[in-house]
Amino acid sequence: MDTEVDAIVIGAGPAGLAVAGCLSHQGAQAIVLEAENEVGARWRSHYDRLHLHTARDLSALPHVAWPSGVPTYPSRQHVVDYLERCAENVPDIRLGHRVTRVSEVDDGFEVAATSGARELTLRAASVVVASGYNRVPHRPRFAGEEVFAGEVVHSRAYRNGRAYLGKRALVVGAGNSGAEIALDLFEHGAVPSLLIRSPIHVMPRDFLGVPSQYSSLRLAKLPTKVADRAALAVSQLVYGDLRPHQIRRPKEGAITQMETRGRIPLVDVGTIELIRQKKITVVPSGIARFTERGIVCDNGDSHSFDLVVLATGYRAELAAFIVDAPPLLDARGYPRTHGASCPERPGLYFVGFRNPSTGALHDIAREAKRVAKSVAKTIATSGRRGEGARGRA
Amino acid sequence: MGEPSQGELRHWHAVLLSRELKDAPRAVTVCGRELVVFRVGETVGALVDRCPHRGARLSDGKVHLDQLVCPYHGWKWKADGSGRSPGNPVARPCVERFDAVERDGAIYVKRDGSEVAFPAVDVSGYHHVHSFRVDVAAPLEVTLDNFTEVEHTGEIHAVLGYDTDRMDEVVSTVTSTDDAIRVHNIGPQKPMPWALRKLIRLPDDPRFIDDWTTRFSPVHVVYDQYWLDEAGERSPDHLRAVVFFNPKGPKVTELMVRLYSGQPPWGRYGVNALLWPVLGALGRYEAELDKRLIESLADKSPVLRGNQLGRFDKALIGARNRIAKIYRGYD
């Protein structure tokens, strides 16, 4: 017989731990399946320099306070330690269990997973997918990559720039990781360039010494057009016109872009200061092809590099393990429904697939509470609650 | 120990605070070299502070557009070191230039083209309280010694330190790697004025932790300072201090001190903001006390041989070796 529980949570990152923490707080039986052998695996493997871009007091998960001594922006290691603390509140985390299939069955869902050579199947009325915004690296391929004599790495594999002293490096992609990796390369004595192909909005992490997240939370309550104007005013005040540095601003406002396309502005932690001082060079055109020594851009310019870091982002790749996923997903492959049971598939929940300006962890904390409440309600009404995990596990 | 030379200038040195550099150029002395630092639009330039024409100080000149104009004959210098002489339009004079960058509220310079890592300090999420520079009339090694040992804190310091009478209770742990020395100290906090104790929310009989790491490219120390109560819980306030040690010459070392708080100024409904000036003044006062003590030493020789060293002095020897090897570049 398959193991049957109240709820299955897929993923033991911030979102999974937050939901599971809330569920166990409510006395629900939940099993957390984590593909890696540790909780918070993504946060463990991110580059060393990373900090939360949001203030710790607005980034706490439910029922777990940040410990004393953690600064306003917790470091990567602080976050890992914090997630371990969160995991202490979750009784049943199965590490090394990779979910291969989530399918709908008569009275709920069936979740298949592998643990080493072992395969197992579990059943639950509620399944919470918290496999992460950053599950699978998006790695574009370029013409001529095989002739390039230098090194090409995805930002997922980048830890720090220690090995690149004096090297000419190109970071492709001006998202938050790309911009910070360029900064990290400068700090390690490399000569970095940053490829910024499309117009981007840039927002300072702090404005007048206060985290921008505080103002974002206020802006989020305003009409989009007004919020766009306010965001533009801040960016203008802090950075002025960045066009001389080959950074163009999109016509569409920052908040509109976030709401309609899920595109978040670049949260600057010092990269722009270095671009202005010409310590980081902006390459304003996409890669047409690689050559032995570097790249040729779409605009015909060629540049020499020893290292190319692809900060080209991640995909959630939910269709890889959710049977018949497309109706649940938007054009970018992210879930349509957040923090509530999917109307198309009652009992299936998604948490942690948004990255709003008000902070991903802030969002996760709110959504986790809503989801846990909803799951608890299902348990109460269905009365299916047995003695918890039974049978073959 | 050799004389400071251009060799040391291959490391990034923090020479000025951003707020000190306005429109006018500024003269700085570092590693025995006299430099002029100036702003050109959004960038910072650094040249040798001597016009190669007739030896005038460029720091007495002024910046016009993207050029520094010599006050003597009006020769014009760009940040890349190329020059123009108004009287000899075909001439292509040049002057020695240095790399310069502005980061975290300070201006750093190094020798042109040297391949070296930037002394990045993690102050992400810490809140800047106060920064200052102070000269100490002593060699680099002797100045650093004072800043990397806690035995003196009971006698010399006003607030941040250990109780001299209970110095035997202080546990000092040294861990080293090739390029860093970390010293972790824990012991009874020396008595502190009641009002200050309340302001920084210290428990009764707190244990003071002074945990620092010294790195040598260039020589700088990052201090973490906080307190524990009897149960081992951390008190909410904590400080991170960054001190750069710049030898101006063989007998004078300049300190650049940057103080940060782990608590935000808006915390406790803004009470923290009131604490800032107190912490800033305190940091300055403690550095002044250290300076007076170091300058009064009978023996300012950087050589340790012949001194009777104690258990708190272990890190000093490690630092000597790394200064020679990493900072000065001797084998």
Q: What is the pLDDT of residues B259-269, one digit of tens each?
A: 999 999 888 88
Region B17-41: mean pLDDT is 96
Mean pLDDT (whole number) for A39-55: 95
Judgement on whether residues A129 and A159 belong to the same structural domain of the protein:
no
Average pLDDT, chain A: 93
Instruction: Report the pLDDT averaged over residues B56-80.
Output: 95
Q: Is residue A279 part of a domain?
A: yes
Structural domain count of chain A = 2
- Closest chain A CA to residue B40: A277
With CA atoms as reference, the chain B residue closest to A269 would be B124
Domain B127-327 has CATH 3.90.380.10: yes
Q: Is A166 helix (H, G, I), strand (E, B) or coil?
A: coil
Position B195 pLDDT exceeds 90: no
According to the model, what pLDDT value does residue A1 have? 47
- pLDDT recorded at residue B267: 84
pLDDT at B4: 42
Q: Is residue A361 part of a domain?
A: yes
Higher pLDDT, A386 or B48: B48
CB contact under 8 A, B103 and A189: no
Domain span holding position A293? 137-310
Interface test with B, best of A50, A52, A72, A213 (most B CBs within 10 A): A72
Q: Is the pLDDT of residue B236 over 90?
A: no
**Helix H or strand E encompassing A307:** strand A307-310
B43 touches chain A (CB under 8 A): yes
First to last CA, chain A: 9
Task: Tell me the average pLDDT across A65-94.
Answer: 96
Q: What superfamily would CATH give domain B6-111?
A: Rieske [2Fe-2S] iron-sulphur domain (2.102.10.10)
Per-residue pLDDT of A273-293, as tens digits, reads 999 999 999 999 999 999 999
Kindly list the residues from chain B whose CB atom is less than 8 angstroms away from the CB atom of residue A55: 264
> Which residues lie below 8 Å from residue B318, measured CB to CB, with a gap of 6+?
B174, B176, B181
Task: Tell me, yes or no, whether A73 lies in a domain.
Answer: yes
Indicate whether A199 and A335 sit together in one domain: no
Q: Tokens for B299?
A: 């023996």
Q: Which two tokens stand for residue A303?
A: 């540049």
Round the average pLDDT of chain B to a whole number and report it: 92
Q: Is B22 exposed, middle or buried (0-12, 13-18, 19+ CB in 10 A)?
A: exposed
- In total, the C-beta contacts within 8 angstroms joining chain A to chain B are 67
3-state SS of chain B is CCCCCHHHHHCCEEEEEHHHCCCCCEEEEECCEEEEEEEECCEEEEEECCCCCCCCCHHHCEEECCEEECCCCCCEEECCCEEEECCECCCCCECCEEEEEEECCEEEEEECCCCCCCCCCCCCCCEEEEEEEEEECCCHHHHHHHHCCCCCHHHHCCCCCECHHHHHHCEEEEEECCCEEEEEEEEEECCCCHHHHHHCCCCCCCEEEEEEEEEECCEEEEEEEEEECCCCCEEEEEEEEEEEEEECCCCCEEEEEEEEECCCCCCHHHHHHHHHHHHHHHHHHHHHHHHHHHHCCCCCCCCCCCCCCCHHHHHHHHHHHHHHHHHCCCC
Instruction: Tell me what pLDDT residue B159 has.
Output: 87
Tell me which amino acid residue A271 is.
T
Same fold, B6-111 and B127-327: no
**B214 phi and psi angles, rounded to 5 deg:** -105, 130
Note whether A153 and A262 are same-domain residues: yes
CA-nearest residue to A271 within chain B is B103
Contact state of A189 with B43 under an 8 Å Cβ cutoff: no
What average pLDDT does range B42-55 have in this prediction? 96
Looking at the fold, whether A286 and A328 belong to one and the same domain comes out as: no
Residues of A with CB under 8 A from a CB of B: 51, 55-56, 67-75, 162, 165-166, 186-189, 209-210, 269-270, 273-274, 276-279
pLDDT at A122 over 60: yes
Shared domain check, A168 and A94: no
C-alpha distance from A224 to closest chain B C-alpha (Å) = 28
Looking at the predicted structure, is the pLDDT value of residue A264 above 90? no
Report whether A170 contacts A220 (CB < 8 A): no
- Domain end, chosen from A310, A328, A352, is at A310
Sorting pLDDT into bands at 50, 70 and 90, what band is B124? very high
Of A70, A189, A209, the CB nearest to B116: A189
Rounded CA separation A48/A228 (Å): 33
**Cα separation, A360 vs B326, whole angstroms:** 42
Higher-confidence residue of B154 and B29: namely: B29
In this predicted structure, the answer to whether residue A391 has a pLDDT above a threshold of 70 is no
Co-location of A261 and A378 in the same domain: no
Residue at which a domain ends, from A310, A328, A343: A310
Examine the domain organization and report whether A59 and A192 are in the same domain.
no
Nearest to A73 among B117, B120, B125 (CB): B125
Residues A202, A300, single domain; the answer is: yes
**Mean pLDDT within A69-92:** 96
Tell me the shortest Cα–Cα distance from B261 to chain A, in angstroms.
8
Residue A360's pLDDT band (cuts 50, 70, 90): very high
Q: What is the pLDDT of residue A7?
A: 96
Binary contact (A51, B125; C-beta < 8 A)? yes
- The mean pLDDT of A27-40, rounded to a whole number, is 96
User: Do the domain assignments include residue A332?
Assistant: yes
Res B331: pLDDT: 60
In a domain, A167, yes or no: yes
pLDDT in tens, B291-323: 999 999 999 988 888 888 888 888 899 999 999
Q: Return the minimum-mean-pLDDT range out of A243-257, B175-189, B269-283.
A: B269-283
Cβ pair B103:A273 closer than 8 A: yes
- Considering the domain boundaries, does residue A196 fall inside one? yes
Please tell me whether residues A247 and A325 are part of one structural domain. no
Q: What is the 3-state secondary structure (H, E, C) of A203-239?
A: EECEECCEEHHHHHHHHCCCCHHHHHHHHHHHHHHHH
Q: pLDDT for A299-337, tens place per residue?
A: 999 999 999 999 999 999 999 999 999 999 998 899 999
Residue B248's closest CA among B137, B157, B90, B82?
A: B137
- Would you tell me the crossing angle of helices A212-219 and A224-239 to the nearest 10 degrees? 160
Question: Within an 8 Å CB–CB cutoff, is residue B117 touching chain A?
Answer: yes
Check pLDDT > 60 for residue B5: no
For residue A274, the domain's CATH number is: 3.50.50.60
Which residues on B lie below 8 Å from A70 (Cβ)? 262
For residues A161-166, give the mean pLDDT.
97
A72–B265 CB contact, under 8 Å: no
Amino acid letter at A117?
A
Taking CB atoms and an 8 Å limit, are B44 and A56 in contact across chains? no
| Residue written as token pair 């240095």 | B98
Q: What is the bridge-based pairing of β-strands B106-111 and B127-136?
A: unpaired
DSSP secondary structure code for residue A337 in this structure: -
The reply to whether B233 touches chain A by the CB within 8 Å rule is: yes
Sequence ranges of the domains in chain B: 6-111, 127-327
Write down the pLDDT at residue B303.
87
Domain end point (choices A310, A334, A352)? A310
Going from the C-alpha of B274 to that of each of A55, B264, B271, B279, the distances in angstroms are: 21, 11, 5, 9
User: What mean pLDDT do residues A167-190 have?
Assistant: 97
Q: Distance (Å) from the C-alpha of residue B297 to the closest C-alpha of chain A?
A: 37
Quick: pLDDT tens for B132-145: 999 999 999 999 99
Percent of chain A clearing pLDDT 70 (strictly above): 97
Which of B42, B122, B236 lies nearest to residue A75, judging by beta carbons?
B122
Sign of the C-alpha dihedral computed for residues A216, A218, A219 and A221 taken in this order: positive
pLDDT exceeds 60 at position A251: yes
Residue in A384, A371, A370, A356 with CA at minimum distance from that of residue A58: A356
Tell me how crowded residue A205 is: count the other CB atoms within 10 A of its CB.
19
Q: How far is A265 from chain B (nearest CA, A)?
A: 19
Give the pLDDT of residue B82.
Answer: 96
A273–B262 C-beta distance less than 8 A: no
The pLDDT assigned to A332 comes to 87
A19 and A129 assigned to the same domain: yes
| Residues of B with Cβ-Cβ distance to A188 under 8 angstroms | 117-118
Compute the average pLDDT of residues B232-241: 91
Q: What percent of chain B has pLDDT over 90?
A: 78
